[in-house]
A and B are shown apart, each in its own frame.
Chain A
Amino acid sequence: MKKIPFKLSLALTAVSLTLAACSPNEKQDDKVTINKNPFPSTYKVLPQQNTLFTNATVLNGIGERMDNADVLIIDGRIKQVGVDLTATNVEVIDAQGKWITPGIIDVHSHLGVYPSPSVESHSDGNEMTSPNTSEVWAEHSVWPQDPGFEAAREGGITTLQILPGSANLFGGRGVTLRNVPGHTMQAMKFADAPYGLKMACGENPKRVYGSRKQMPSTRMGNVAGYRAAWAEATEYKRAWAKYNSDYDAGKNPEAPKRNLELDTLMGVLDGEILVHNHCYKAEEMAVMVDIAKEFNYDSGTFHHAVEAYKIADELAANGNCVAMWPDWWGFKMEAYDMVDENVAIVDAVKNSCAIVHSDSETTIQRLNQEAGKVLYRAIDNGFNLKEEDAIKWITANAAKSLGINDKTGSLEVGKNADVVLWNTNPFSVYARAEQVFVDGAKVYDRFDEKYQAKSDFLLGQE
């Protein structure tokens, strides 16, 4: 997939209203612009320490394994990875017998929007009132006190995308968070990460709305719904383009009426918002790829994609990332054709982007082992894969899907120092994260209570 810049510099002041269309010679009203970042990140790096890990088995996230290697973190960045590194004024951590990987990234989580405890009062992940709710943003539902964030951090998760649910054709915007404790959503928000747009194929939308005797009640109804929305968004984008060009030509045009739903879709057409499409079946993914071509946007990442193995070549050729469970199946018809090697088959194609995701407050805590299940079942069945390959599925490829691979997802020099120190091979069932770093700051230590955060909710419960 092509890298999509997200320029915050474009985000300007609030919308001002223009009331009259005017001739070119009239004085221009203030230009109307859309503030693309009204809820900016306030994330602050936790106290950093410059650190040298020594003698570890290092999986760098982009396919390489280094034994007895050292990793040097300076000022929150990966400074160097190699053998026999030296540095002064750093904390040295003896990682003999331990493994180091990039921080783990989950592209599909509902932490905070479907938190624990799962009481009705906190069930905020799915605006099931209309098949197109592109105007809702998951970040406005995030409860930062969800104890699931802590549990995920203990499993090495340093970055995660929180998505709306899949009841709607367009579920709304997803948000990428740093997995650091914060008591506001903004304090966790990954600065400069593009927004996601959650779309959903198949059974969920047609069941939810079909049962209410409204469209969509069929898969063809689903597709009509996507296309109608993209057609409208195309007009909206054109209207804004015309407004901008007229204004820039010195005219005083009337700005298009602001529409929050279409703002989001226009963001996709402009390449600023990335599509994350819940879609299980091969034939439906193939249709979604064509819709994106029809309306000239990037079909993005397919999520769940239980049947991706049936069209692995096509997905790689089209540049899609594919985020999958290792083995969930059978809970509905569209999840019936699961194979244990789905991720491995997608990964085996050149230019592919295979990802293991969780969509679960439980397995997000062990995304390493979720990937491990794929790795070893695939090896059992003749795939040529190693640990250094499997780590990509939960680091570099996930970062690419979220549009943050220039910042995190690998241990390449200059990247954010998001690092996990494991007690053993992270794909072992006995693996546990011992220390977790975000931007070079320790956010978790299994053996030091000082670095074990606890949600407000669990405080004082007996």
Chain B
Amino acid sequence: MNNIQVKKRTFTLSSLVTASLTVLALTSTVVNAKITAITNATVHTVASQGILEQATVIIDEGVITQVYENENTPENIAADEVIDAKGRILTPGFIGTMNSLGLVEVGAVSRTRDGRDEKADITFDASLAFNPKSTLIPYTRKGGITSNISAPVGGEGLFAGQTFAVDLSGDFSSIIEKQNAVIIYLGSESKGSRAQKLQALDYKFADAKKALAKQKNQTAKEKKEAKEPSRDELVVNALLAGEKPLLAYADRATDLLALLTLKKKYGIDLVLVGASDAVLVAKEIAAADVPVILSSIDNLPSSFDSLHVSLANMGILAKAGVKIILAPKGESHNINQLRFDAGIAVANGLPKADAIASLTANVADVFKLNSGRIEVGKNADLVLWSGDPLELSTKVDFMWINGKPVSTQSRQDALRDRYTEKGNMPKAYYQ
């Protein structure tokens, strides 16, 4: 397969076409190139520049250092390598959200599951269990996904732990940020009332706020003698200070409104997840500037909390001005299909630009990632597509994570190749 030649050269624009490389299949060999130029691309910046035709993007040290519109592209570009996109679409790498990527290898094999623990509560840091060598990660890259917000599912406590951000390089240094948001599950209960947790959450914030106020008025002596706040309390305080988002799973409109009330009362950085009934209160959610993380394909009323789900919901919310993030429910092995889910949302009324933002810039905004847009200073997490990124017939032609080319070859490809190989020996000999 093709290793990219690394030669420090200055390309003139006229020579770019001939300098183009075949980029269909890459090994995961690390390339030492420092400066990469992607030329002649249709760039979906997902930023103020919108879509640029015949644009050039320069990557240096893992970061996007230039985005040239066609007419502004300089005659000479200093680059170690040049990729001629030949007009193909370049997008920011897509970002998965609220799944167990790297925490679960085989769903029904308990010793490969690290997303859940009885004792997991508000401080639970599942990133300690993240496995960058999981076979799910290369398979996920096939969907043009370059980073992910992995989420534990908690335990018996009120909170379900904290999410963390990773890149999909497969390297041991994949973790971008630990403990970057707190998760809570609300809504209908098989045993008990939905009211209990809502009330407990309210009290939790009220008590913490009171304690903070009291602390403020303490004398120096009192402060010295005061007990150190617990780790749990520190996280609640961080939520009250808006330092990290509260990701609240809830579906019925009454629950969503109750959460909006808590946001108003305590100033928390609220994000709604699931939010089946969100269309009923879209105006209120938009007015409160609360993002919604939701699925585009769960259109059946799976419970009495979700009687208003529809394939059109993403489009309706976007139109109402709600910041939306697309994330399938509880899925991690097949999150490479995010882009198809986005396509289905487009087929049902969501503008394509909003669909792509729901997989890129919107996620970056909510989780404060330095990616999700193609603009100067952002991480060079980029995908070059063979066609429309949301279309079934399209594939990833080339992708970069932190400016490094990465492969989309996975264990699945190795199995396919073994069993389509012709020969006389047992398959076990073909590798």
Complex Cα–Cα for A427 and B394 (A): 12
Complex Cα–Cα for A116 and B412 (A): 33
Is B297 engaged at the interface, CB distance under 8 Å to the other chain? yes
Contact with B393, one of A118, A332, A336, A376 (Cβ below 8 angstroms): A376
Binds B, one of A25-33, A75-83, A428-436: A428-436
Write out, one digit per residue, whether chain B residues 378-422 have a CB within 8 A of any chain A CB (1) or not (0): 000000000000111111000000000000000011011001100
Is B50 engaged at the interface, CB distance under 8 Å to the other chain? no
B395-A116 in contact (CB<8A): no
B420-A118 in contact (CB<8A): no
Complex Cα–Cα for A431 and B347 (A): 7
Is A300 engaged at the interface, CB distance under 8 Å to the other chain? no
Is B344 engaged at the interface, CB distance under 8 Å to the other chain? yes
Q: Given A369-B392, A427-B392, A429-B390, answer yes or no on A147-B416 (Cβ-Cβ < 8 Å).
A: no
B301-A372 in contact (CB<8A): no
Q: Nearest chain B CB to A285's CB is how many angstroms away?
A: 14
Is B184 engaged at the interface, CB distance under 8 Å to the other chain? no
Q: Which of A327-364 contact B (CB under 8 A)?
A: 327-333, 336-341, 345, 361-362
Q: Given A117-B304, A332-B108, A458-B301, answer yes or no on A427-B393 (Cβ-Cβ < 8 Å).
A: yes
Q: Please name the residue on chain A nearest to B427 by beta carbon.
A: A310
Complex Cα–Cα for A429 and B394 (A): 10
Is A366 engaged at the interface, CB distance under 8 Å to the other chain? yes
Q: Nearest chain A CB to B193's CB is how many angstroms away?
A: 17
Residues of B within 8 A of A431 (CB): 347
Q: Please name the residue on chain B nearest to A115 by beta carbon.
A: B300
Residues of A within 8 A of B346 (CB): 429-430
Residues of B within 8 A of A203 (CB): 108
Q: Given A330-B107, A330-B333, A332-B106, answer yes or no on A116-B416 (Cβ-Cβ < 8 Å).
A: no
Q: Nearest chain B CB to A221's CB is how many angstroms away?
A: 18
Contact with B303, one of A119, A336, A340, A362 (Cβ below 8 angstroms): A119
Residues of B within 8 A of A376 (CB): 392-395
Q: Which of B301, B303, B337, B344 has most A Cβ within 10 Å?
A: B301
A117-B302 in contact (CB<8A): yes
Complex Cα–Cα for A159 and B61 (A): 56
Residues of B within 8 A of A327 (CB): 334, 337
B300-A148 in contact (CB<8A): yes
Complex Cα–Cα for A57 and B109 (A): 47
Complex Cα–Cα for A117 and B107 (A): 24
B419-A345 in contact (CB<8A): yes
Count contacts on B: residues with CB < 8 A to the other chain: 39
Q: Nearest chain B CB to A203's CB is how many angstroms away?
A: 7
Write out, one digit per residue, whether chain A residues 416-434 have a CB within 8 A of any chain B CB (1) or not (0): 0000000000011111100
Q: Which of B107, B390, B416 has most A Cβ within 10 Å?
A: B416
Q: Please name the residue on chain B nearest to A146 by beta carbon.
A: B300
Complex Cα–Cα for A366 and B304 (A): 24
Q: Given A151-B300, A332-B106, A429-B344, answer yes or no on A381-B391 (Cβ-Cβ < 8 Å).
A: no
B303-A329 in contact (CB<8A): no
Is B307 engaged at the interface, CB distance under 8 Å to the other chain? yes
Complex Cα–Cα for A125 and B391 (A): 35
Q: Please name the residue on chain B nearest to A111 by beta carbon.
A: B300
Q: Given A117-B303, A362-B298, A458-B307, answer yes or no on A309-B419 (Cβ-Cβ < 8 Å).
A: yes
Write out, one digit per residue, whether chain A residues 94-129 have a CB within 8 A of any chain B CB (1) or not (0): 000000000000000000000011110000000000
Contact with B392, one of A119, A147, A309, A373 (Cβ below 8 angstroms): A373
Complex Cα–Cα for A454 and B413 (A): 43
Is B240 engaged at the interface, CB distance under 8 Å to the other chain? no
B108-A331 in contact (CB<8A): yes
Is A89 engaged at the interface, CB distance under 8 Å to the other chain? no
Write out, one digit per residue, whether chain B residues 283-325 have a CB within 8 A of any chain A CB (1) or not (0): 0000000000000011111111011000000000000000000
Is B186 engaged at the interface, CB distance under 8 Å to the other chain? no
Q: Nearest chain B CB to A15's CB is how many angstroms away?
A: 41
Is B343 engaged at the interface, CB distance under 8 Å to the other chain? yes
Residues of A within 8 A of B135 (CB): 330
Complex Cα–Cα for A34 and B106 (A): 46
Complex Cα–Cα for A116 and B419 (A): 39
Residues of A within 8 A of B302 (CB): 116-118
Is A380 engaged at the interface, CB distance under 8 Å to the other chain? yes
Q: Please name the residue on chain A nearest to B295 by beta carbon.
A: A362
Write out, one digit per residue, whether chain A residues 143-157 have a CB within 8 A of any chain B CB (1) or not (0): 000011001000000
A332-B415 in contact (CB<8A): no
Q: Nearest chain A CB to B416's CB is how many angstroms away?
A: 4
A-B contact pairs, 20 of them (CB 8 A): A116-B301, A117-B303, A118-B302, A119-B304, A147-B300, A151-B299, A332-B108, A333-B106, A333-B109, A341-B416, A361-B300, A365-B299, A369-B340, A369-B344, A373-B337, A376-B394, A428-B391, A430-B346, A430-B347, A458-B301
Beyond A116-B301, A331-B106, A376-B394, 11 extra complex contacts between A and B, CB < 8 Å: A116-B300, A117-B306, A148-B300, A203-B108, A330-B106, A330-B135, A340-B416, A366-B344, A373-B337, A381-B416, A430-B391
